Amino acid sequence: MAALKARWFDLTRRVLPGMAAAEGWPIRLDHCFMRVCLDAAFGQPWHDAVRRPAVRHMTEAELARAVSVAEGVAADPAMLFELNAESLRLRGKAGRRSATPRR
């Protein structure tokens, strides 16, 4: 579990924000990447499925799913735009942020 937590925080606090800054993604902050990846891992707003703070209350399998989503985004950044749009839709906030990359 400790290794999964370390990987989760590395991806969401360093890797993905670094990629976002370099590429001009519509989200850049660690908590936004956490929201997107957790919502995708749970298939619903994560806070409806697990108590806050999520990383402290998730099972190992749940955290592994979230890490897998984050790794997927790092490997295929185009995923982020669809996952972000879906996260916002799940939360009733669709259309608030661009779902496509800026060029």
pLDDT of residue 96: 56
By residue count, the chain amounts to: 103
First to last CA, the chain: 38
Write out the two tokens for 53.
Answer: 């703070």
Q: What is the pTM of this model?
A: 0.89
Please give the chain's pLDDT, 103 residues, in tens.
999 999 999 999 999 999 999 998 989 999 999 999 999 999 999 999 999 999 999 999 999 999 999 999 999 999 999 999 999 999 999 765 544 444 3
Of 74, 71, 102, 73, nearest to 87 by C-alpha is 73
Quickly count: other Cβ atoms within 10 Å of residue 103's Cβ. Answer: 5
Both tokens of 56, joined, read 């402290």
Domain residue spans of the chain: 2-90
Give residue 102's pLDDT.
40
